[in-house]
């Protein structure tokens, strides 16, 4: 579509520009969303560490491994959902109060972790 | 401005409409429940054919021993000598539901027997299903369509066939779970709240507990998500609706013992994971798009897309590797036979041997969803205008289910709700269009607001052409006016623009034409109602353990099965083993409480093949097989006297095939005379000497002089023969069930004993003469 | 396997042949003594009861074995039985019996007390057993201490009361109100009556005695007899023939001992009784053993007639070893008999009752070995089984009344010898009887012929058996066994025609019987007889058969006979295969990863601090603050509950608590969140 296929240098500076604009755009996001992002990052990195462990050792107590990974992914996904819902820019959720979103988030987390605990064995 | 004044007007109609629709829903529930009671009225409150008996037995065990014993229940009274781990191999949803119902009622001091609960579970849940259908369709196309769809599914024959009172099978609750899961999915999709997403996962869990058909959900929803993404309908609501469902649903599904790790190991579920990853990539892309300026985004797209593509390729590679590593490419036999309809008949004779796994015929379509079959295309068209996420889902649902029902008869059950929803949409749309056209051409009321006009017109027109209706169809007719004012109270608030277009479009329809069309539509509905009631009353309410036949001299009732099972339970030892073809395994364990060799849960092909081999072997070999299995009694079902077509002789070729599949010395051609299966004098000697033939036709010639088989419509080939290793112990009144006992092994030293007896008598005589051998020498 | 079967068959046939002839009774010998000393073994120094003790002691006494030292234990039990005033007559009876052997010193008062009690019992008793035990005890007391007065005042009355229990057929009833009549009771009654007579202070009138004698002789009318001359008394109810006979014999001998004049009983009956007891051999349990020995002892020294037993040390005489025919005459217990002469009346081969083969002659008597012997068998005695008929003649005639010799005694004797086998040959014949190959066999030694035949030919095996005297000999077993490589074996009986044994196997007719199994068959010939000293079971080589191919419906060869010891023996132990436990990673690795998992958490917290997480949204006013606090507490409680669920709780308790907590959370959370929402909306509006 556009010129990044023209030459490597242009793509690199494009990338730089992209990074800058990304950072600037992100710095505009409110603190609450940043916290949520941090939380998501935390969950995802935990999941990744577990995957690495599985790759090294093997997934013998499979249910434990599965519940570990899925709990991380699940919390991450739920946090992303929460983020989507409380995002001010998001037009779709005008009528949804952030508190309500948080309540749903809590409920969903409780259910998720009940299941996780049950599955942990 | 006029929005406000309509609003207060609408609050009134809103309340009125809600109350009305509530009553209509209650009536629909009553209809759905009561139309399924024909079996109880015409026969008796009894559990129906085969699998329900197993479920009934499991439920009894659950109510007697509690949940934990049920969870690790090893059943040693079936699959002798292997036994079966019931807790880990059964879908517990139905059992737990009925058990909970029973427990609830008893704790309320309503002492109902477990059997009663089991008999009436299906009708109750069919009422729930109709309500769930209402909710789903309302999410798709407004509550008018919802009510129509609910009324349709309350009496759609293909669903009745699986949920009449007494057919206590997984589908009874599974369909409800299916529809309800879909409803919650659509609801989440529309509102985008995690709350519904959570309940969506829970409903999915219930579905997984209830039926193996849950894979349909976990494949259909990803397909829909993918379709939305591809058609550029991605929204963050879609993400909220899907991503939590996958995570939670997978975990919950893994909790069910029978599914266990399959939820992540088998390829039925891989599609969902794939889509899960894709949707994340897409979500990320959209997020970037949101935060970036379009120019920068253009730059970003290239990089992000490339990265995303790389990730996708990697993931796909991983998945492919996993699939390739797992046997049968990770697909269970039944799913494979879904994808490739010829698979089962080629590789798994057991699956192929079940009649409900065969592809259906066109008449069966008309029989099961009769007028809906014609309404479905109209409904699809209606879904396209306008196309929303929900309606696209419905379209996808109907298309896939049509394909599946084309593969297996039993999946007609999955098709029925989709057909009902689409045709409900179609009907309501049609009615709306016609009434609207009528309303706009009514003379004498020029300055009236369209809404009231619609009110009056509908209220005036509907009774006018619903006067000549039977009270049965009155049920469905009663809701029509209500649907119309549901519509009309919706449009003003929702889409006035669309409404105006509609009015313009409608003006072209002539007045009489629309009245005629409404009349025809109502007639169609009436015909549907009549057909459904007939189907419910005649076709689908026969419990296949009690048979009736009308003949010139009145009604005959054949209760031979229960006669035979009662005989077994009263006249045999508690731990005797009874061998029969696997169809009768569940009934034997449940009704006669005797250990069986194989039963309807066909988890061990070899074991079934052993029994099949025994049935198709000559008497002595069969005796040895059965004796090695410690069998005491052999039970065969024989319809030749009363013309009961589904008896063991007709199933015999399957026994031969299944047996031959494992034990090659059983060859199907040996039983066929130049390609056709016959038991008359032309039959092959192998056929005439096999155990099944002998057990079925032993002493048959005594009934009428010449041994005429009413099912095969021929005289049997070999009339006079004796059984050397089996003895007949019981034959029911109409000869439908015949029970034989294995004779004890021959006494090898019979001659000797006879001699010794004579000797002893000699010694006695000798004693009388006064002398006897001195035993000490 | 097969050979073992044949061996067993041989033994069986041998047994049958022995049974056919009249059996010979051996007197009590050392085998009984050894059996006794191992049968009666006192458990920890004393016997279970005085009765057993008495049986043991009595048997030892009779057999002349020094009794084991059970004096202490049994003695004191005897004493306290006698001392206690409440012991039943039966206990007293056996105590006294034991005492009569052990000779414990019991002072006179005890005896008198017992005697008086027993007399009271006797006078009052109605049941036969009480009377029997009491009378018996009194008799024992009388024998053990002379000065105790045990004489019965009214012996006649007691005698009559006992006699009133007698039946017309000589049997007796246990008590007056029990119609059941029994031979065993008869024995007891007669013994009791004998005791009464011995205890009678005054003379019993002879009429009663006479009646009693008639009863006894009537009793001998219902005697049962075996074909070998043994006679015994049988009991319909609860008593074994042995114990019944024993009790009768005891009563009989006791009665004979006390009566002045002899009671006439046929001597052969007494001899038959002796034969019955001897014929039992060595019984397995103590009761029978005691009954046998005790009654034999009674017979040994009875006053009616002492049976003399004629026995042979060996009933098998070998012609090759020139065995002598030896005969021994003794009493039942093996003590030597009065001087007698044994005559060999006649001897004939047991098969045919034809004329005697040995002239009637007396046997010589050998002093020191006390054997009567026939020094050399006459020449015309061939191998075979014979009946020798002996007669025992007492030298001086007054012994005739004392001893019962039973006249002629018939004893079966086997005369064995070497049967010589000649012109044995095996041949393969064509279908037209023309000899194809023929081989001589030396059945005395080893020989391994190897033949080959097809299914159109025949196999012929023939030989002759002649006794030392040249007659043709017909052994009991002549078998030819063919064993295929696959252990399928066929046994044919070799028939004899005239003087030669011959079998012709026509393979054409046998192909089906041979299951069409071609290949080499091992030939094995079995010739066996009880009197044939060189019975043999010998492989004589092999024959290679080639038989036609098996048609479709040919009968399969039977499965090999599985060794019964394997079949009924313990099965092989099932070795269970357990799933191997998955290998777990080393501990430190897991711990390292645990630490690694902490890193993101730390990063998260650090990030929070850097972002400056603010609690300014946390409500300041009291009520909502408490709610907010409670909300978080509730969340913490739920998480704690989950941990508990993971650790110990089960699902349902968890769900219950979760429900409670959930309601609480719902309430509190709704309050706090709604409050927050209102404040935020206020902010927006403001």
Residue pLDDT, tens place only, C541-581: 888 888 887 776 666 666 666 666 776 777 788 888 888 87
Predicted local distance difference test score (pLDDT) of residue B333: 62
Mean pLDDT over all residues of chain C?
Answer: 80
CB B194 to CB A84 under 8 A?
no
User: For B155-171, how does the pLDDT look when each residue is reduced to its tens digit (9 = 90+)?
Assistant: 899 899 888 888 898 88
User: For C604-630, how does the pLDDT look when each residue is reduced to its tens digit (9 = 90+)?
Assistant: 888 888 877 666 667 677 788 888 888
Would you place residue B604 in the very low, low, confident or very high pLDDT band (cuts 50, 70, 90)? confident
Q: How many angstroms separate the CA of residue C229 from the nearest CA in chain B?
A: 9
Percentage above 70 pLDDT, chain C? 90
Predicted local distance difference test score (pLDDT) of residue B326: 59
Residue B757 pLDDT > 50: no
Query: In angstroms, rounded to a whole number, what is the distance separating the alpha carbons of residues B200 and B238?
Result: 13
Query: In angstroms, rounded to a whole number, what is the distance separating the alpha carbons of residues B633 and B637?
Result: 13
Residue B135 pLDDT > 90: yes
User: For C475-485, how does the pLDDT look when each residue is reduced to its tens digit (9 = 90+)?
Assistant: 888 888 888 88
- Chains in touch with A (3+ beta-carbon pairs under 8 Å) read B, C
Query: In angstroms, rounded to a whole number, what is the distance separating the alpha carbons of residues C469 and C482?
Result: 33
CB B179 within 8 A of CB B125: no
Q: How many angstroms separate the CA of residue C287 from the nearest CA in chain B?
A: 17
Section C2-6 average pLDDT: 50
DSSP designation for C396: S
Predicted local distance difference test score (pLDDT) of residue C554: 65
Query: In angstroms, rounded to a whole number, what is the distance separating the alpha carbons of residues C209 and C159?
Result: 10
Section A105-115 average pLDDT: 91
Bigger pLDDT: B367 vs B128:
B128
Give the other-Cβ count within 10 Å of B367's Cβ.
18
Query: Which of A76, A117, A120, A121 is best to mutate for the C interface (most C CBs within 10 A)?
Result: A117
Letter string b/e over residues B109-145, b meaning 16 or more CB atoms within 10 A of that residue's CB:
eeeeebbebbbbbbbbbbbbbbbbbbbbbbbbbbbbb
Instruction: Outline where B495-536 has alpha helix (H).
Output: 496-506, 511-534
Query: In angstroms, rounded to a whole number, what is the distance separating the alpha carbons of residues B246 and B239?
Result: 11
Q: How many angstroms separate the CA of residue B102 from the nearest CA in chain C?
A: 18
Backbone angles phi, psi at B579, to 5 degrees: -105, 135
Predicted local distance difference test score (pLDDT) of residue C68: 64
Query: Which of A18, A89, A98 is best to mutate for the B interface (most B CBs within 10 A)?
Result: A18
How, if at all, do strands C384-394 and C340-349 pair? antiparallel
User: For B432-482, how does the pLDDT look when each residue is reduced to its tens digit (9 = 90+)?
Assistant: 888 888 877 765 444 434 443 333 333 333 333 333 333 333 344 444 444
Q: What distances in angstroms separate CA B73 from CA B84, B85, B546, B761, one per listed residue?
A: 9, 6, 31, 57
Give the other-Cβ count within 10 Å of A88's Cβ.
12
Q: How many angstroms separate the CA of residue C226 from the nearest CA in chain B?
A: 5
**CA torsion angle B486 B492 B495 B501 (round to 10):** 100
CB C227 to CB B777 under 8 A?
no
Query: Nearest chain A Cα to C603, which residue?
Result: A42
How, if at all, do strands C519-528 and C536-546 pair? antiparallel
Residue C386, strand partner residues: C349, C413
Section C287-315 average pLDDT: 84
User: For C418-450, how does the pLDDT look when each residue is reduced to its tens digit (9 = 90+)?
Assistant: 888 888 888 888 877 788 888 888 877 777 888
Residue B307 pLDDT > 60: yes
Residue C500, strand partner residues: C464, C497
The three-state (H, E, C) secondary structure of C268-297, written as one string: HHHHHHHHHHHHCCCCCCHHHHHHHHHHHH
Residue B486 pLDDT > 50: no
Residue B187 pLDDT > 90: yes
CA atoms within 13 A on the CB side of C290: 15
Q: What distances in angstroms separate CA B502 from CA B139, B140, B434, B454, one per listed residue?
A: 21, 19, 11, 14
Query: Nearest chain A Cα to C673, which residue?
Result: A99
Query: Nearest chain A Cα to C672, which residue?
Result: A99
Q: Give the lowest-confidence range in B367-381, B383-397, C119-133.
A: C119-133
Distance spanning both ends of chain B, measured CA to CA: 129
Bigger pLDDT: B646 vs C4:
B646
Question: How many helices and strands in chain B, by DSSP H and E?
Answer: 33, 12
User: For B317-364, how does the pLDDT look when each residue is reduced to its tens digit (9 = 90+)?
Assistant: 887 877 676 555 556 666 666 666 666 666 667 667 777 777 888 888
Residue extents of the structural domains in chain A: 31-120
How, if at all, do strands C403-404 and C306-311 pair? parallel
Would you place residue B302 in the very low, low, confident or very high pLDDT band (cuts 50, 70, 90)? confident
Query: In angstroms, rounded to a whole number, what is the distance separating the alpha carbons of residues B168 and B47?
Result: 7
Q: Please name which of B561, B474, B476, B534 lies closest in space to residue B38, comparing C-alpha atoms.
A: B534
Residue C316: both structure tokens together = 């098998």
How, if at all, do strands C224-226 and C231-232 pair? antiparallel
Predicted local distance difference test score (pLDDT) of residue B633: 92
> Residues of B numbered 264-283 whose beta carbons fall under 8 angstroms of chain A's beta carbons: which are they?
264, 283
Would you place residue B181 in the very low, low, confident or very high pLDDT band (cuts 50, 70, 90)? very high
Predicted local distance difference test score (pLDDT) of residue B620: 87
Mean pLDDT over all residues of chain A?
Answer: 82
Per the document, the length of chain C is 686
Residue C481, strand partner residues: C491, C524
CB A60 to CB C584 under 8 A?
yes
Query: In angstroms, rounded to a whole number, what is the distance separating the alpha carbons of residues C490 and C506?
Result: 14
CA atoms within 13 A on the CB side of C681: 12
Residue in the block written with tokens 């092909």 = B605
Q: Give the lowest-confidence range in B212-216, C259-263, C460-464.
A: C259-263
Q: Give the lowest-confidence range in A115-119, B308-312, B350-354.
A: B350-354
Residue C2 pLDDT > 60: no
Query: Nearest chain C Cα to B774, which residue?
Result: C226
Would you place residue B125 in the very low, low, confident or very high pLDDT band (cuts 50, 70, 90)? very high
Section C183-203 average pLDDT: 83
Query: In angstroms, rounded to a whole number, what is the distance separating the alpha carbons of residues C198 and C135?
Result: 10
Bigger pLDDT: B275 vs C508:
B275
* Burial of B414 (C-beta count, 10 Å sphere; 0-12/13-18/19+): buried
User: For B20-57, how does the pLDDT look when each residue is reduced to its tens digit (9 = 90+)?
Assistant: 999 999 999 999 999 999 888 888 888 888 889 999 99
């Amino acid at each position: 579509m556009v010129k990044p296929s023209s030459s490597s240098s242009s793509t690199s500076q494009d990338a730089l520009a992209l990074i800058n604009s990304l950072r600037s755009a992100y710095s505009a996001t409110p603190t609450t969303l940043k916290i949520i992002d941090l939380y998501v990052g935390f969950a995802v990195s935990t999941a990744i560490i577990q995957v690495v462990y599985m790759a090294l050792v093997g997934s013998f107590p499979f249910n434990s491994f599965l519940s570990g990974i899925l709990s991380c992914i699940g919390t991450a996904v739920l946090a992303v959902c929460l983020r989507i819902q409380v995002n001010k820019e998001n037009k779709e959720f005008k009528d949804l109060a952030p508190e309500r979103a948080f309540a749903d988030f809590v409920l969903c987390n409780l259910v998720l972790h009940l299941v996780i605990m049950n599955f942990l064995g | 401005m006029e929005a406000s004044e309509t609003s207060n007007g609408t609050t009134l109609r809103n309340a009125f409409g809600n109350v009305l629709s509530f009553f209509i829903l209650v009536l629909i529930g009553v209809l759905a429940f009561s139309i399924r009671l024909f079996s109880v009225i015409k026969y008796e409150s009894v559990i129906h054919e085969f699998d329900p008996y197993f479920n009934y037995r499991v439920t009894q065990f659950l109510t007697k021993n509690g949940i934990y014993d049920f969870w690790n229940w090893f059943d040693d009274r079936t699959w002798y000598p292997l036994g079966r781990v019931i807790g880990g191999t059964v879908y517990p949803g139905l059992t737990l539901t009925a058990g909970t119902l029973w427990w609830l009622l008893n704790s309320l001091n309503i002492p109902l027997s477990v059997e009663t609960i089991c008999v009436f579970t299906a009708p109750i849940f069919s009422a729930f299903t109709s309500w769930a259908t209402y909710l789903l369709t309302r999410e798709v196309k407004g509550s008018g369509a919802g009510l129509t769809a609910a009324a349709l599914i309350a009496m759609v024959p293909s669903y009745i066939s699986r949920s009449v009172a007494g057919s206590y099978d997984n589908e009874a609750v599974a369909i409800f779970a299916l529809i309800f899961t879909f409803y919650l999915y659509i609801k989440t999709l529309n509102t985008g709240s995690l709350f519904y997403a959570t309940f969506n996962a829970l409903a999915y869990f219930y579905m997984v507990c209830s039926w193996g058909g849950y894979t349909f959900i976990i494949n259909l929803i990803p397909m829909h998500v993918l379709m939305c993404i591809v058609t550029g309908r991605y929204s963050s609501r879609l993400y909220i609706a899907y991503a939590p469902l996958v995570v939670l649903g997978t975990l919950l599904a893994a909790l069910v013992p029978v599914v266990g790790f399959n939820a992540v190991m088998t390829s039925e579920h891989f599609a969902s994971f794939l889509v899960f990853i894709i949707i994340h990539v897409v979500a990320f892309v959209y997020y970037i798009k949101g935060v970036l300026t379009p120019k920068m985004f253009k730059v970003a797209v290239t990089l992000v897309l490339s990265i995303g593509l790389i990730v996708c390729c990697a993931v796909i590679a991983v998945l492919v590797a996993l699939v390739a590593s797992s046997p049968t490419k990770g697909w269970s036999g039944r799913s494979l036979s879904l994808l490739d309809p010829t698979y089962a008949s080629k590789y798994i004779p057991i699956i192929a041997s079940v009649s409900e796994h065969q592809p259906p015929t066109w008449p069966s379509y008309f029989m099961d969803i009769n007028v809906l079959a014609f309404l479905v295309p109209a409904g699809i068209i209606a879904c396209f205008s306008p196309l929303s996420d929900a309606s696209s889902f419905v379209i996808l649902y109907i298309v896939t289910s049509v394909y599946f029902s084309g593969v297996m008869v039993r999946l007609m059950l999955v098709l029925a709700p989709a057909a009902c929803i689409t045709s409900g949409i179609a009907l309501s749309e049609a009615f709306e269009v016609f009434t609207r056209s009528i309303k706009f051409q009514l003379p004498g009321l020029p300055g009236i607001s369209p809404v009231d006009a619609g009110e009056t017109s509908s209220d005036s027109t509907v009774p006018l052409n619903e006067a000549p209706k039977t009270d049965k169809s009155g049920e469905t007719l009663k809701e029509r006016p209500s649907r119309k004012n549901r519509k009309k109270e919706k449009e003003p608030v929702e889409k006035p623009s669309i409404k105006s277009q509609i009015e313009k479009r409608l003006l072209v329809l002539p007045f009489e034409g629309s009245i005629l069309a409404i009349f025809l539509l109502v007639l169609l509905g009436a015909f549907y109602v009549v057909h459904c009631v007939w189907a419910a009353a005649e076709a689908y309410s026969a419990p296949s353990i009690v048979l009736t036949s009308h003949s010139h001299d009145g009604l005959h009732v054949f209760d031979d099965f229960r006669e035979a099972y009662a005989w077994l339970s009263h006249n045999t030892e508690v731990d005797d083993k009874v061998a029969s073809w696997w169809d009768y395994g569940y009934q034997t364990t449940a009704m006669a409480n005797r250990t069986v060799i194989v039963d309807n849960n066909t988890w061990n092909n070899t074991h079934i093949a052993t029994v099949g081999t025994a049935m198709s072997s000559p008497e002595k070999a069969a005796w040895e097989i059965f004796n090695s299995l410690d069998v005491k009694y052999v039970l065969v079902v024989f319809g030749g006297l009363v013309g009961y077509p589904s008896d063991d002789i007709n199933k015999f070729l399957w026994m031969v095939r299944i047996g031959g599949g494992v034990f090659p010395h059983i060859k199907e051609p040996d039983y066929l005379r130049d390609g056709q299966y016959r038991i008359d004098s032309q039959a092959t000697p192998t056929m005439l000497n096999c155990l099944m033939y002998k057990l079925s036709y032993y002493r048959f010639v005594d009934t009428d002089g010449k041994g005429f088989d009413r099912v095969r419509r021929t005289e049997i080939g070999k009339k006079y023969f004796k059984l050397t290793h089996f003895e007949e112990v019981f034959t029911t009144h109409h000869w439908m069930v015949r029970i034989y006992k294995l004779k004890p092994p021959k006494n090898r030293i019979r001659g000797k004993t006879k001699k010794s007896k004579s000797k002893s008598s000699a010694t006695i005589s000798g004693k009388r003469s006064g002398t006897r051998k001195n035993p000490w020498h | 396997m097969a050979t073992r079967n044949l061996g067993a068959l041989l033994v069986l046939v041998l047994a049958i042949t022995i049974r056919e002839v009249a059996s010979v009774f051996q007197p009590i010998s050392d085998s009984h003594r050894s059996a006794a000393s191992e049968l009666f073994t006192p458990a920890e120094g004393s016997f279970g009861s005085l009765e057993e003790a008495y049986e043991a002691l009595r048997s030892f006494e009779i057999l002349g074995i020094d009794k084991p030292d059970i004096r202490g234990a049994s003695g004191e039990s005897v004493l306290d039985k006698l001392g206690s005033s409440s012991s039943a007559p039966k206990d007293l009876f056996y105590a006294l019996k034991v005492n009569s052997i052990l000779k414990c010193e019991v002072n006179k008062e005890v005896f008198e007390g017992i005697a008086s009690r027993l007399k009271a019992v006797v006078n009052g008793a109605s049941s036969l057993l009480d009377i029997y035990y009491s009378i018996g005890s009194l008799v024992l007391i009388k024998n053990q201490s002379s000065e105790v007065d045990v004489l019965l005042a009214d012996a006649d009355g007691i005698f009559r009361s006992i006699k009133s229990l007698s039946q017309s057929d000589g049997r007796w009833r246990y008590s007056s109100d029990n119609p059941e009549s029994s031979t065993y009771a008869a024995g007891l009654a007669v013994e009791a009556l004998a005791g009464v007579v011995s205890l009678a202070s005054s003379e019993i009138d002879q009429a009663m005695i006479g009646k009693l004698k008639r009863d006894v002789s009537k009793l001998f009318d219902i005697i049962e007899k075996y074909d070998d001359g043994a006679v015994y008394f049988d009991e319909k109810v609860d008593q074994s023939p042995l114990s019944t006979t024993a009790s009768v014999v005891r009563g009989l001998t006791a009665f004979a001992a006390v009566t002045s004049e002899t009671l006439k009983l046929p001597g052969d009956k007494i001899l038959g009784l002796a034969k019955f007891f001897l014929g039992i051999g060595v019984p397995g349990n103590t009761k029978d053993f005691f009954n046998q020995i005790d009654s034999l002892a009674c017979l040994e020294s009875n006053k009616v007639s002492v049976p003399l037993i004629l026995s042979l040390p060996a009933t098998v005489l070998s012609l090759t070893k020139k065995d002598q025919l030896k005969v021994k005459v003794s009493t039942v217990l093996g003590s030597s008999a009065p001087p007698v002469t044994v005559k060999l009346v006649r001897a004939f081969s047991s098969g045919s009752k034809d004329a005697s083969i040995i002239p009637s002659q007396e046997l010589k008597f050998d002093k020191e070995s006390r054997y009567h012997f026939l020094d050399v068998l006459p020449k015309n005695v061939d191998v075979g089984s014979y009946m020798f008929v002996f007669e025992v003649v007492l030298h001086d005639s007054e012994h005739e009344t004392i001893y019962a010799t039973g006249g002629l005694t018939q004893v079966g004797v086997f005369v064995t010898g070497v049967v010589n086998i000649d012109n044995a040959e095996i041949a393969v014949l064509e279908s037209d009887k023309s000899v194809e190959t023929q081989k001589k066999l030396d059945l005395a030694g080893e020989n391994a012929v190897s033949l080959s035949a097809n299914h159109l030919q025949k196999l012929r095996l023939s030989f002759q058996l002649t006794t030392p005297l040249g007659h043709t000999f017909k052994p009991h077993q002549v078998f030819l066994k063919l064993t295929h490589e696959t252990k399928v074996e066929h046994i044919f009986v070799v028939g004899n025609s005239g003087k030669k044994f011959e079998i012709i196997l026509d393979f054409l007719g046998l192909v089906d019987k041979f299951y069409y199994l071609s290949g080499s068959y091992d030939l094995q010939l079995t010739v066996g007889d009880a009197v044939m000293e060189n019975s043999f079971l010998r492989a004589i080589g092999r024959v290679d058969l080639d038989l036609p191919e098996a048609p479709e419906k040919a009968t399969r060869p039977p499965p090999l006979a599985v060794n019964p010891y394997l079949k009924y023996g313990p099965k092989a132990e099932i070795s269970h295969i357990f799933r191997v436990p998955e290998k777990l990673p080393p501990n430190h690795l897991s711990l390292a990863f645990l630490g690694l998992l902490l890193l993101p958490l730390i990063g998260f917290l650090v990030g929070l601090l850097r972002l400056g997480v603010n609690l300014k949204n946390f409500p300041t006013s009291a009520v909502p603050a408490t709610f907010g606090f409670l909300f978080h507490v509730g969340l913490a409680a739920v998480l704690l509950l989950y941990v508990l669920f993971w650790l110990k709780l089960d699902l349902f308790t968890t769900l219950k608590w979760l429900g409670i907590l959930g309601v609480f959370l719902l309430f509190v959370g709704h309050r706090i969140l709604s409050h927050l929402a209102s404040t935020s909306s206020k902010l927006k509006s403001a």
